[in-house]
A and B are shown apart, each in its own frame.
Chain A
Amino acid sequence: MSLKLPIYLDNNATTPMDPRVLDTMLPYFVEKFGNAASRSHSFGWVAEEAVDYAREQVAKLIGADPKEIIFTSGATEADNLALKGVYEMYASKGNHIITCTTEHKAVLDACKHIEKLGGQVTYLQVQADGLVDLTELEKAITDKTILIAIMYGNNEIGVVQPVKDISKIARKHGVLFFTDATQAVGKIPVDVNSDGIDLMAFSAHKMYGPKGVGALYVRRKNPRVKVTAQMDGGGHERGMRSGTMNVPGIVGFGKACEIAMNEMESEAQRLSVMRDRLENALLQLEEAYVNGNKEHRLPHVSNISFKYVEGEGLMMGFNKDIAVSSGSACTSASLEPSYVLKALGLGDDLAHSSLRFGLGRFTTDEQIDFTIEAIKNTVLKLREMSPLWEMFKDGVDLDKIEWAHH
Chain B
Amino acid sequence: MAYSEKVLDHYQNPQNVGTLDKGKTNVGTGLVGAPECGDVMRLQIEVDEESGLIKDAKFKTFGCGSAIASSSLATEWLKGKSVDQAMEIDNMDIVEELNLPPVKIHCSVLAEDAIKAAINDYRVKNGMMAMELDEKKH
Interface residues of A (CB under 8 A from B): 308-310, 312-313, 316-317, 328-330, 335, 337, 347-349, 352, 384-390, 398, 403-406
Contacts and interface: CB of A to CB of B under 8 A. Distances in A.
Nearest to B42: A387
A384 B17 CA distance: 8
Contact of A310 (B3, B14, B64, B103): B64
Given A385-B61, A387-B61, A329 B38 contact: yes
B38 A386 contact: no
Contacts of B65: 312-313, 316
Contacts of A328: 38, 64
Interface of B: 3, 8, 11, 14, 17, 19, 31-42, 60-65, 67-68, 103, 106, 110, 138
- Among B62, B110, B138, max chain A CB count under 10 A is at B62
A328 B41 CA distance: 17
Contacts of A309: 62
B33 A388 contact: no
B61 A386 contact: yes
| Chain B interface, >50% SS class | mixed
Contacts of B60: 385-387, 390
A26 B103 CA distance: 41
Contacts of A317: 11
A7 B18 CA distance: 33
A262 to B, nearest CB: 39
Given A387-B31, A403-B36, 4 more contacts: A309-B62, A386-B61, A387-B60, A406-B34
B36 A387 contact: no
A405 B34 contact: yes
A337 B41 CA distance: 19
Contacts of A312: 38, 64-65
B40 A352 contact: no
Nearest to B107: A330
A156 to B, nearest CB: 17
A347 B38 CA distance: 11
16 contacts: A308-B62, A312-B64, A313-B63, A313-B65, A313-B67, A329-B38, A385-B17, A387-B60, A387-B61, A388-B62, A389-B62, A398-B35, A403-B33, A403-B37, A405-B34, A406-B33
A312 B138 CA distance: 18
List 4 A-B pairs, minimum CB-CB distance, nearest first.
A403-B34, A348-B36, A406-B138, A349-B35
Nearest to A314: B64
A309 B40 CA distance: 10
A329 B31 CA distance: 21
B3 to A, nearest CB: 7
A347 B19 contact: no
